[in-house]
């Protein structure tokens, strides 16, 4: 097996296919990369830009090169001594008419052989929220017709062609009665958040949950994946959204038994001091590592200055946790209203089965209280076995949930059903509760409160905590001591809210708080600034700083990002009912801000950018020398400035990336440092897998990383104030000195 020294993540699609990846292999090899880590390779919806909307997990995407193209890539990688890791999606497939399994379900209903594959509530007809208006109105306008396609009769509604049960299409057809005779029912898309009949990914109705807990479904979902592993074309697996499954522990046991020699990483967001369960895996994909590096590099005093100024200017009080709790209540009643109704119904059924019938309002209050009080993505309770730490966490959650409720007995009843299910109804409640907590935290934390708490958005990251932006040396070293040496260390991904270099520009604000405050103050003088809330101005200025390069598309990128940020924050607008007038007041400020920075470039901006570059070099050095396997997100061997998706998924020029080590300035400095350190890891992988790791900081702010075995020692010295911020000493000799900007 090829030693894991570093992985390199390529986003397929958007001009990057298997052939392009094959041409890129020599560049990866020369940079000390041991494994190419690919975004989903399986057939996805037409026009997919990311591949997570899989329509067939057993077909390799033809537009990427299909089976033959992937086989050529795998052979070339093997010849280069590079392994391949693929990203698979066991939790969901696309809720799309292109999904062949779903088409069969639409045609045959619960009689379809694929009906057990999908997590569907068959107590009523399967809701299809695909329409722009009520079905009856579209029918009256003559926009509904009967048609025939290759796989059978369809009901055509505009561009939609929904499979019909052949037995229902006989003689003279009344289209309204035909619609009523199907296993599905068409509804307007606006109703999807309130009423759905399938389990979805978070609040994304276009993705439907898969029942991989069923052996037949497990086999069908992984047939091609197992074939690729068994034929030697794939050497590792990355599992998307493991927390969405009914029983992640049982799934992983089944998966490991099927591919026992294949390393597996899980996309598992760890919060606070949470540890990865003992699942016998290679590790997580590494969001917790990005958080810890940012905390090491954040100046606590400077952050306190920014927080105080932000609270003074915006009138915000309290902690981020308070904003998160408020967001949870809103998200439950709005984005996840359908899930909330399902949870209440499951709670009612579990209570009745326990012989303790409760009123709907009491059940509703108890369900909401338990979900809001839950601090993590999920527990891993199962009907057969449960971890003591999960039981203790649920007791803590129940205590908090019951504190302010008159009906605390209902909270205790439901908690008992969840932790110790004695009936099938209680087991269903247990499973669904654990699936919903993750969706609630993600949508509330990352996609709501994280766009509202704008004092220091460097900490508004996946798995991070804006209430805990720094870390002590002891806490960091304790975390390092328990970290798996094969766990991935990422600083950027396709899902991070800011790319690694953008995040370091924002971290620079904690070292130079006065400079950020100057930029914000200057913004208040721009035309139309008085029409924009202070909190939004704080967010806009930091976002502009994060990606600033005076390029031609800067206004467009900020326009698109601010539109998303405002809708995610849900204060003045939202995705379902956007207030374009309110949005325009903010968007109109963007060209004034960028013009100000271009024509009279503030000295504060230059200082923050320069310090951000130095912090980025230190972040790179920490990432590539600390415990774990560095994971490089495509262009991040060099400079990469991006905001959250879709900005961080924009097409990249692979040919240009191959020239980075010859580039001047920061981009070249980072590329050369990355190559040197990755080659060092490649030359001695055993040392980096077994060496102890300790990180310390002195009063002057110098960060030292010590890696050591019985016979070898490596020291990394990082000094923001030195002419060259990164130095590596190996066995007493200076092995590397970065050519960073003085």
CATH number of the domain that residue 116 is part of: 3.30.1590.10
CA torsion, ordered 423, 428, 431, 435, to nearest 10 deg: -160
| Cα four-point dihedral sign 542, 545, 547, 548 | positive
Residue 82 and residue 109 in one domain: no
Total number of residues shown for the chain: 742
Rg (Cα) of the chain, in Å, rounded?
26
Task: Provide the CA 171 distance to its chain's centre, in angstroms.
Answer: 51
List the CATH number of the domain containing 61: 3.20.20.80
Q: What was the pLDDT predicted at 735?
A: 64
Task: Say if residue 217 is in the same domain as residue 251.
Answer: yes
Q: Is residue 286 predicted with pLDDT exceeding 50?
A: yes
Query: Based on the domain organization, do 327 and 436 belong to the same domain?
Result: yes
pLDDT in tens, 125-170: 999 999 999 999 999 999 999 999 999 999 999 999 999 999 999 8
The pLDDT value recorded for residue 406 is: 75
The pair of three-digit structure tokens given for residue 686, joined into one six-digit string: 């055993």
Tens digits of per-residue pLDDT, 429-464? Answer: 999 999 999 999 999 999 999 999 999 999 999 999
Work out the number of other CB atoms within 10 angstroms of the CB of residue 265. Answer: 26
Give residue 386's pLDDT: 85
Percent of all residues in the chain with a pLDDT value above 70, rounded to a whole number: 98
- Rounded Cα distance between 263 and 486, Å, is 9
| pLDDT tens digits, 461-493 | 999 999 999 999 999 999 999 999 999 999 999
Distance set, CA 592 to CA 538, 579, 581, 587 (Å): 15, 22, 18, 10
Residue 129 lies in a domain: yes
DSSP one-letter code for 600: S
Which of 35-39, 167-171, 202-206, 552-556 is predicted least confidently?
167-171
pLDDT band at 730 (very low <50, low <70, confident <90, very high): confident
Distance CA 341, CA 740 (A): 56
- Residue 380 and residue 427 in one domain: yes
- Mark which of 395, 428, 449 sits at the end of a domain: 449
Q: Quick check: is 31 in a domain?
A: yes
Write down the pLDDT at residue 193: 72
Q: Are residues 163 and 29 in the same domain?
A: no
Q: Which residues lie closer than 8 Å to 44 by C-beta, 6 or more apart?
A: 50, 51, 52, 53, 54, 55, 61, 94
Residue 171, number of CB atoms within 10 A of its CB:
5
| pLDDT averaged over every residue in the chain | 95
Range of the domain at 381: 323-449
Residues 423 and 358 in one domain: yes
Same domain, 347 and 434: yes
Phi, psi of 503 (to 5 degrees): -65, -40
Last residue of a domain, one of 246, 267, 288: 267
Is residue 296 one of the residues assigned to a domain? Answer: no
Whether the pLDDT of residue 742 is over 50: the answer is no
* Alpha helices (runs of H) in 141-278, residue ranges in sequence order: 175-180, 215-230, 248-258
Token readout for 528 is: 């139309």
d(CA 643, CA 651) in angstroms, rounded, equals: 14
Identify the CA nearest to 5 among candidates 688, 735, 693: 688
**Which parts of 512-588 fold into alpha helices (H)?**
513-523, 534-547, 554-569, 580-587
Instruction: Report, as an integer, the average pLDDT of 269-282.
Output: 95
202 and 220 share a domain? Answer: no
* DSSP code of residue 733: E
- Whether residue 42 lies inside any domain: the answer is yes
Question: 733 pLDDT band (50/70/90 cuts)?
Answer: low
Please tell me the predicted confidence (pLDDT) of residue 65: 98
Same-domain check for residues 110 and 173 = yes
pLDDT at 196: 92
How many structural domains is the chain composed of?
A: 3
Per the domain annotation, does 518 fall within a domain? no
**Per-residue pLDDT reduced to its tens digit, 314-346:** 999 999 999 999 999 999 999 999 999 999 999
Same-domain pairing of 87 and 227: yes
Same domain for 168 and 115 = yes
Indicate the pLDDT class of residue 177, thresholds 50, 70 and 90. very high
Q: Has residue 621 been placed in a domain?
A: no
Burial of 375 (0-12, 13-18, 19+ CB in 10 A): middle
Quickly state the pLDDT bin for 384 (edges 50, 70, 90).
Answer: low
| pLDDT tens track for 599-633 | 999 999 999 999 999 999 999 999 999 999 999 99
Query: DSSP letters along 356-386, please?
Result: ----HHHHHHHHHHHHHH--SS-----SS--
In whole angstroms, what is the distance from residue 742 CA to residue 725 CA? 8
Asked if residue 512 has pLDDT above 50, the reply is yes
Going from the C-alpha of 550 to that of each of 214, 524, 547, 635, 677, the distances in angstroms are 53, 21, 9, 19, 31
What tokens appear for 373 in the block? 């009080």
Give the DSSP per-residue string, 392-445: HHHHHHHHHHHHT-TTHHHHHHHHHHHHS--SHHHHHHHHHHHHHHHHHHIIII
Asked, for residue 427, whether it belongs to a domain, the answer is yes
Confidence band for 123, pLDDT divided at 50, 70 and 90 = very high
In this structure, the answer to whether residues 334 and 424 fall within a common structural domain is: yes
- Model pLDDT for residues 647-677, shown as the tens digit of each residue: 998 888 899 999 999 999 999 999 999 999 9
CA–CA separation, 615 and 622 (whole Å): 10
Domain boundary among 427, 449, 471: 449
Q: Is the pLDDT of residue 245 over 70?
A: yes
- Inside any domain, residue 405: yes
What strands lie across the sheet with 152-157, from one edge to the other? 144-149, 152-157, 160-163
pLDDT digit string (tens) for 9-41? 999 999 999 999 999 999 999 999 999 999 999
Task: Read off the pLDDT band of 741 (50, 70, 90).
Answer: very low
Distance CA 390, CA 393 (A): 5
CA dihedral defined by 709, 81, 622, 291, rounded to 10 degrees? -120
């Amino acid at each position: 097996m090829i030693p894991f020294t570093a992985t390199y993540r390529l986003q397929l699609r958007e001009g990057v296919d298997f052939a392009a990846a094959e041409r890129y292999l020599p560049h990866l090899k020369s940079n000390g990369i041991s494994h190419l880590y690919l975004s989903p390779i399986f057939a996805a919806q037409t026009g997919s830009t990311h591949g997570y909307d899989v329509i067939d997990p057993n077909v390799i995407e033809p537009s990427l090169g299909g089976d033959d193209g992937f086989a050529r890539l795998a052979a070339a990688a093997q010849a280069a001594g590079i392994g391949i890791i693929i990203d698979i999606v066991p939790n969901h497939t696309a809720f799309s008419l292109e999904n062949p399994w779903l088409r069969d379900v639409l045609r045959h209903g619960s009689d379809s052989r694929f009906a057990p594959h999908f997590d569907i509530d068959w107590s009523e007809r399967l809701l299809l929220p695909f329409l722009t208006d009520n079905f009856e109105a579209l029918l009256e306008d003559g926009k509904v017709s009967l048609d025939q396609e290759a796989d059978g009769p369809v009901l055509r509604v505009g561009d939609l062609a929904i499979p019909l049960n052949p037995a229902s299409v006989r003689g003279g057809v009344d289209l309204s009665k035909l619609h009523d005779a199907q296993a599905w029912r068409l509804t307007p898309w606006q109703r999807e958040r309130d009423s759905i009949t399938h389990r979805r990914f978070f609040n994304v109705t276009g993705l439907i949950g898969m029942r991989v807990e069923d052996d037949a479904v497990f086999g069908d979902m992984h047939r091609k994946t197992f074939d690729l592993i068994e034929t030697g074309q794939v050497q590792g697996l990355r599992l998307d959204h493991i927390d969405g499954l009914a029983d992640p522990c049982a799934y992983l046991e089944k998966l490991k038994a099927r591919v026992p020699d294949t390393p597996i990483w899980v996309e598992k967001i760890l919060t606070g001091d949470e540890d990865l369960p003992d699942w016998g895996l290679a590790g997580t994909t590494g969001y917790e590592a990005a958080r810890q590096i940012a905390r090491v590099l954040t100046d606590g005093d400077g952050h306190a200055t920014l927080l105080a100024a932000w609270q003074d200017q915006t009138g915000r009080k309290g902690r981020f946790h308070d904003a998160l709790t408020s967001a949870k209540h809103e998200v439950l009643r709005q984005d996840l209203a359908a899930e909330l109704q399902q949870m209440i119904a499951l709670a009612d059924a579990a209570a009745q089965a326990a012989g303790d019938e409760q009123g709907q309002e009491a059940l509703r209050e108890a369900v909401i209280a338990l979900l809001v009080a839950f601090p993590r993505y999920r527990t891993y309770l199962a009907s057969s076995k449960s971890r003591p730490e999960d039981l203790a966490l649920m007791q803590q959650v129940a205590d908090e949930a019951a504190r302010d409720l008159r009906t605390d007995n209902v909270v205790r009843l439901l908690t008992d059903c969840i932790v110790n299910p004695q009936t099938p109804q209680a087991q269903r409640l247990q499973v669904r509760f654990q699936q919903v907590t993750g969706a609630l935290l993600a949508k509330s934390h990352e996609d709501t409160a994280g766009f509202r708490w704008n004092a220091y958005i460097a900490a508004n990251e996946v798995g991070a905590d804006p209430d805990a932006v720094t870390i002590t040396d002891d806490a960091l070293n304790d975390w390092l001591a328990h970290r798996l040496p094969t766990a991935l260390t990422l600083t950027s991904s396709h899902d991070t809210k800011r790319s690694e270099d953008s995040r370091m520009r924002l971290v620079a604000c904690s070292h130079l708080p006065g400079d950020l405050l100057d930029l914000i103050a200057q913004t208040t003088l721009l035309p139309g600034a008085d029409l924009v809330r202070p909190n939004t101005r704080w967010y806009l200025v930091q976002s502009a700083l994060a990606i600033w390069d005076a390029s031609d598309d800067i206004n467009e990128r900020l326009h698109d990002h601010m539109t998303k940020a405002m809708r995610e924050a849900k204060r003045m607008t939202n995705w379902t009912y956007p207030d374009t007038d309110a949005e325009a007041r903010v968007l109109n400020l963007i060209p004034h801000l960028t013009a100000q920075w271009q024509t009279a470039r503030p000295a504060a901006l230059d200082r923050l950018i320069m310090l951000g570059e130095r912090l980025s070099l230190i972040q790179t050095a920490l990432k590539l020398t600390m415990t774990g396997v560095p994971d490089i997100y495509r262009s991040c061997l060099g400079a990469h400035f991006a905001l959250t998706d879709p900005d961080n998924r924009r097409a990249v020029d692979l040919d240009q990336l191959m020239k980075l080590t010859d580039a001047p300035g920061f981009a070249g400095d980072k590329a050369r440092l990355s190559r040197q350190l990755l080659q060092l890891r490649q030359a001695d992988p055993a040392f980096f897998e077994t060496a102890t790791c300790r990180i310390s900081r002195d009063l002057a702010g110098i960060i030292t990383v010590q890696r050591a075995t019985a016979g070898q020692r490596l020291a990394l010295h990082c000094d923001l104030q030195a002419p060259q911020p990164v130095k590596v000493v190996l066995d007493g000799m200076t092995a590397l000195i970065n050519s960073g900007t003085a």
